[in-house]
Structure 1
């Protein structure tokens, strides 16, 4: 038997929101049940196959991913193929199943997972190559079905297996739902050892519970896992975490449960037991902001919690009631702030384009999103609504869905949809509702889409400017509207063609255009605190400075600092002189203070890009001496030469010989990464010669 599982492969194209280098939890959990019963399946990690496809350079490389995957699977020996399904990759999953069935018509195709579970009957009507769907929690059901299919002497009748949908001649039979598994402690640990890519993982996922007692209109969790909240015992959780650490050397663990903290008593017991076990673990979880408090957050942080996913969904009090989320937004901010203060990284999810959403609702969500950028450890996320199959919203609007090709990243994260997928989606709206759209009453979906792209791009490239524009204007949506008018007046097209086929808001061109808009329009026509906004724009503009036509010739870069080495400015270093107090500016942004409070000052700031994309930056305020020394580090003089030239001007500082002061200053610049050193003088050569 072969079992496969994967996320949408396009997630890895230009997106860092998901990491496909984690074990496939659902399939490995079912594999563990089979192994426990003396059956060892073959597990295929399709995420890994996708990465292999991208990296494969052989002359025999197939032209498309589907062919590559099918070639690999058909090289194996099996008579049953189990495919786990999620909404975003469901079209590709079905195309894989179809090709496998063509290759070997005798193979039994079994689908499971969240998507197939809720669209089982329409799937089997539309795609005759699918033999079975295992719905919902599958550990008990799948084992019974496997035994019925593989053992001709089995007395198990298909009619008696709850939770399956199957064919009986030309008829599709849907048996009653299987009951939820209440005793989760009895389930074995996922069969991580069956994943051949185990050594690549730095983080494991561990399911610790199921079910959410809430019933949000857009969410599919309660449909798949039932509304009965269940948690493993604290003892079982820690036992399994210890096993993972001892066996695989992994101590970073994602605790999988949509609402981990709903049972506060059990979470407290878990944290206290974790502290008493005297072993270090780092873990993350998901929670609602109204199912956690400051005291619990502090305990979780002490017990090793390093990440929490919060679904706030909307910054509109009105929509909180409409979508049945019903969070108190002030309390939500307080919980997020508390987690930030404890050093817990939080992802905070929002959704826009609800059918009833007004511009005021959208304004509330966008402002809430941007306001979170003032916290060090918070990364907000923004998605368009998708009508996930089986949700209340889907059932309410299923006869009104539109295929406008404005895809939501709740269900799809790629930039382009495969043409074969589109044909399948167009022909089967009941099977693929997540690729369709619910009509919006007050604004077009294209407007919501561009707002989403704009806000997310600003978050990635202009975090402090984004926040400053909110505090200065009080309304990011109004800034967006003005930007949109300005952009249109300059004939800038969101979908303009570029050699890399990169969407406009992911392209450097957007960054350059928005800086120009900020400088020429916002600063002059909209800014209340032009002095402050202009300084922030000046900082952002540093990172747009075109690279010189000259580059440093290949040389021996030294790891240690000495009098005979040749210091030069680090690549990715940008220096600016500002006329405002930079520290006070950042404090005002973090604390939501009036930007008028930022005093004037003359200060030199060094900004050092610490990764290739320039999205992580170290900031240093330079003293006059540090600035003077930095300017002399051009790669042509040794440390001794620089000290000699500087000491001609001064004899000492506060009684300390100036030579010692300069040496200390240069060594600090080196320690801070602002300068690097070479064993020989640095030469500049044309970029074209490198």
Structure 2
């Protein structure tokens, strides 16, 4: 065994944690396999962290182990890395994912971490593996990595440009236990992030507003494969802002309609980048679900963090229901400027959307590294109540604001839950 790829788990396994196949790792695996490497993968979000499995991995003496981690899963990534190094210090450990891409220097301070992959991992891992296993190339020439030199000095190489997503092989889905995922057949439709710079999102920090979509023709090829050879019945287009380029979306919809069989799919986007005509076109091409980031029910808060209107939200949801598209609206509580009054406005708006047929997803605001909220927390009056990264899970409150104490926030959330009939996730 040459290479093992590991998806670090959340501390508490939940339905949300095993929602979808980790496409990033699956793409890295497919590129390495295409190059003739022997690759295996483990998603500990399915089983929960099991150090005996880590021990078994080390016994097979891989040359390189890559670990992917979000902020919430980073502490478990470190537990895995340290266990590996305790058993066999010769194994090279690479960590990637959002947390390492945002805080590469901090991550490299850990003795158990040898390298950090910053941003996209396919070409970076390919070149790094050639260096580590084949002895080809020089570390300083590998774009997108961070490493420690012989003196322990941390070096961060230049970021690489976004890859051409059409040139990549399909993700290596067979390396993962597909039957355990709620979304088995998720499809990546674009590389990079969202051009909007929402203050609570770290995507703009990681990708610097860059986005590179796959061609509609390339996506259709993968759709055909999933439906004809894999028996897929529903796919989810994994992109935060699927409808940002309407011309591109319409071309994809045209090609979907030309398929010899109907397909069903879902996506996520914003209410200000769809209209009734586009939604009708999407519905006629098999769109059955859309998740919209609404965030707040106070127009004052929306003006400061999202730039959408409540009227737009209501109109879009009404249109979706008319077109028989299942719709979900996601909210976050609290924002720095929230008061008891604005959160009670959110409560009323959530109830209105819920009664109109929208599913509601509500999370606690977590000021993730790289976000405007994290970088400007003092100025914004945000007090972070924990120094443990695994508590940045959006499932429980970890902040106080200049207007709201922790107790205020909990009481207001419970008020929303009781008033709307929502169920609180553990």
Q: Structure 1-normalised TM-score?
A: 0.57
Q: Is the 8 A contact 1:137 1:225 kept in 2?
A: no
**What is the rounded CA distance, in whole Å, between the counterparts of 2:212 and 2:203 in structure 1?**
13
What's the secondary structure of 1:356's corresponding residue?
A: coil
Structure 1: 5+ residue stretches without partners? 51-64, 416-434, 463-504, 508-690
**What is the rounded CA distance, in whole Å, between the counterparts of 1:291 and 1:404 in structure 2?**
36
**What is the rounded CA distance, in whole Å, between the counterparts of 1:436 and 1:461 in structure 2?**
21
Structure 2: 5+ residue stretches without partners? none
Instruction: State the shift of 1:26 in Å.
Output: 1.2
1:442 and 2:400 equivalent?
A: no
- Which deviations, in whole Å up to 9, do the C-alpha atoms of 1:511-553 show, x marking residues without a partner? xxxxxxxxxxxxxxxxxxxxxxxxxxxxxxxxxxxxxxxxxxx
Q: Is the 8 A contact 2:283 2:323 kept in 1?
A: yes
**What is the rounded CA distance, in whole Å, between the counterparts of 1:448 and 1:327 in structure 2?**
24
User: Aligned to 1:103, which of 87, 90, 95?
Assistant: 87
**What is the rounded CA distance, in whole Å, between the counterparts of 1:371 and 1:255 in structure 2?**
28
1:275 and 2:257 equivalent?
A: yes
What's the secondary structure of 1:128's corresponding residue?
A: coil
Instruction: State the shift of 1:28 in Å.
Output: 0.5
- Which deviations, in whole Å up to 9, do the C-alpha atoms of 1:570-605 show, x marking residues without a partner? xxxxxxxxxxxxxxxxxxxxxxxxxxxxxxxxxxxx
Q: Is the 8 A contact 1:353 1:445 kept in 2?
A: no
Cα distance 1:413–1:359, how it changes in 2: closer, same or farther (>3 A)?
closer
Larger Rg: 1
Structure-2 residue corresponding to 1:187:
168
Q: Which of structures 1 and 2 has the larger relative contact order (alpha carbons within 8 angstroms, sep 6+)?
A: 2
User: Aligned to 1:4, which of 6, 26, 33?
Assistant: 6
Report the count of equivalent residues.
Answer: 420
1:314 and 2:314 equivalent?
A: no
Structure-1 residue corresponding to 2:178:
198
- The equivalences for 1:91-170 within 5 A come to 91-125=75-109, 127-152=110-135, 154=136, 156-168=137-149, 169-170=151-152
**What is the rounded CA distance, in whole Å, between the counterparts of 2:353 and 2:9 in structure 1?**
28
What's the secondary structure of 2:158's corresponding residue?
A: coil
- The equivalences for 1:678-689 within 5 A come to none
Structure-1 residue corresponding to 2:309:
328
Structure-2 residue corresponding to 1:392:
372
What's the secondary structure of 2:273's corresponding residue?
A: coil
1:452 and 2:413 equivalent?
A: yes
1:344 and 2:329 equivalent?
A: no
Cα distance 1:339–1:248, how it changes in 2: closer, same or farther (>3 A)?
same
**What is the rounded CA distance, in whole Å, between the counterparts of 1:204 and 1:214 in structure 2?**
27
**What is the rounded CA distance, in whole Å, between the counterparts of 1:280 and 1:220 in structure 2?**
36
**What is the rounded CA distance, in whole Å, between the counterparts of 1:112 and 1:266 in structure 2?**
30
Q: Is the 8 A contact 2:8 2:43 kept in 1?
A: yes
Instruction: State the shift of 1:137 in Å.
Output: 1.4
Cα distance 1:306–1:19, how it changes in 2: closer, same or farther (>3 A)?
farther
User: Aligned to 1:289, which of 271, 279, 282?
Assistant: 271
Cα distance 1:413–1:353, how it changes in 2: closer, same or farther (>3 A)?
closer
Q: Is the 8 A contact 1:384 1:409 kept in 2?
A: no
Cα distance 1:279–1:94, how it changes in 2: closer, same or farther (>3 A)?
same
- The equivalences for 1:245-260 within 5 A come to 245-260=227-242
Instruction: State the shift of 1:132 in Å.
Output: 0.5
**What is the rounded CA distance, in whole Å, between the counterparts of 1:44 and 1:314 in structure 2?**
37
Q: Structure 2-normalised TM-score?
A: 0.91
Q: Is the 8 A contact 1:84 1:113 kept in 2?
A: yes
**What is the rounded CA distance, in whole Å, between the counterparts of 2:421 and 2:52 in structure 1?**
34
